[in-house]
Amino acid sequence: MPSRRQIREAVVQFLYCADLEGGANPASLREAFWQFVTESDRRILLQATWKTLHHLSLGREARLTEFQQRAPLAIATLKARPDLEATARSLEQVADLENRWSANMISLSRVPKDADDDDFGAAFEPALATFFRTDRDLATARRRFLEALEDIPSLRAHFEPVAGSIRRLDRISERVRMVEEPENFPDQGDLAKIRECRQSLAELRHETDSMADAVLREKDELDRRIADVVENFAPERLNPVDRAILRLATWEILHADKVPAPIAIDEAIELAKRFGTTDSGRFVNGVLDRIAKQASSAN
């Protein structure tokens, strides 16, 4: 669960970015914003995904070798029967995808794990997507071949060795599918780190988007309140970081019933010290103190 501080920092960053885009629709900025602001968190998630994949795929090499030893004879036997040519092609597709699966895993292993966040993500995410796509295609191809064997019961025993190898390889793919959708397997301890990272990122985005949207819906009122207490300054002339912080905190003072005004002000001061100029903390404190007093007297 992301902390309140993380959420508010993300809201301020989004409001700041939206302001710099000269009135662009904030919704159009969201994907690029989240790609940028969550780079470090996504790196942690991707590295946890890699470690889990590597762990769960241990033992596949021996199973693949067994399959590769049995597949050529099975393919040749099928091709000797004209009526089983389609089944032979189906097994050849399985063999091709098994090799592609291994090649994709090698590609993942070769992505430099010590690269910068953006470089690592840019290389690893598409490679991971390709790997998952290949695994899904492979699972489909295996199932198609095994179902085809059901239509030739007289030869089923003959092809059981290669079918057994395929089923053993598919059990590893079942583990891979758990890594791809860990939320569907809450009892799997190996997936705990991935589930936690995904959930935290999803909750951070949901809470941040909800709060940012609430602030933007009331922006005109918030700017009027700020202008009332900032002498000789219209809101658009304020430092953009200070303006984002003031809009958020003013919204909390006016509309967030569960957040006492002193807490909203103290947190805004901390945000100003972190993101603003040397004078931002004192400036934000003075403005918000006057807004809070006005709001209190009006109630």
47 and 129 belong to one structural domain: yes
Q: Are residue 45 and residue 169 in the same domain, yes or no? A: yes
Structural domain boundaries enclosing 272: 4-37+199-294
Distant-in-sequence contacts of 2-7, Cβ < 8 A, 24+ apart: 2/200, 2/203, 2/204, 2/207, 4/267, 5/267, 5/270, 6/204, 7/204, 7/207, 7/208, 7/211
- Residue 45 shares a structural domain with residue 172: yes
73 and 169 housed in the same domain: yes
Coil, strand or helix at 256: coil
Cα separation, 105 vs 59, in Å, equals: 13
**Residue 114 pLDDT:** 83
**What is the predicted pLDDT for the residue at 31?**
87
- Residue 234 sits at φ, ψ, to 5 deg, of -80, 150
Same domain, 159 and 229: no
Same domain, 233 and 281: yes
What SS3 state is found at 230? coil
Q: Does the residue 191 lie in any domain?
A: no
Tokens of 37: 């602001």
Give me the CATH number covering residue 28. 1.10.940.10
What string of pLDDT tens digits covers the 299 residues of the chain? 789 999 999 999 999 988 775 556 777 788 888 888 888 888 999 999 999 999 999 999 999 999 999 999 999 999 999 999 999 999 999 999 999 999 999 999 999 988 887 888 889 999 999 999 999 999 999 999 999 999 998 888 999 999 999 999 999 999 999 999 999 999 988 899 999 999 999 999 999 999 999 999 999 999 999 988 887 666 566 788 999 999 999 999 999 888 899 999 999 999 999 998 888 999 999 999 999 998 887 66
State the pLDDT at residue 298: 66
Say yes or no: 242 and 284 in one domain.
Answer: yes
Overall domain count for the chain: 2
Is there a domain that residue 286 lies in?
A: yes
Same domain flag for 72 and 126:
yes
Secondary structure, 3-state, 149-215: HCCCHHHCCCCHHHHHHHHHHHHHHHHHHHHHCHHHCCCCHHHHHHHHHHHHHHHHHHHHHHHHHHH
Domain shared by 14 and 48, yes or no = no
pLDDT at 17: 87
pTM of the model: 0.78
List Cα–Cα distances, 144 to 20, 242, 255, 257, 259, in angstroms.
54, 61, 58, 58, 58
Is residue 163 situated within a structural domain?
yes
Are 112 and 212 in a shared domain? no
As a whole number of angstroms, the distance between CA 249 and CA 261 comes to 9
- Looking at the fold, whether 95 and 205 belong to one and the same domain comes out as no
On whether both 283 and 155 belong to a single domain, the answer is: no
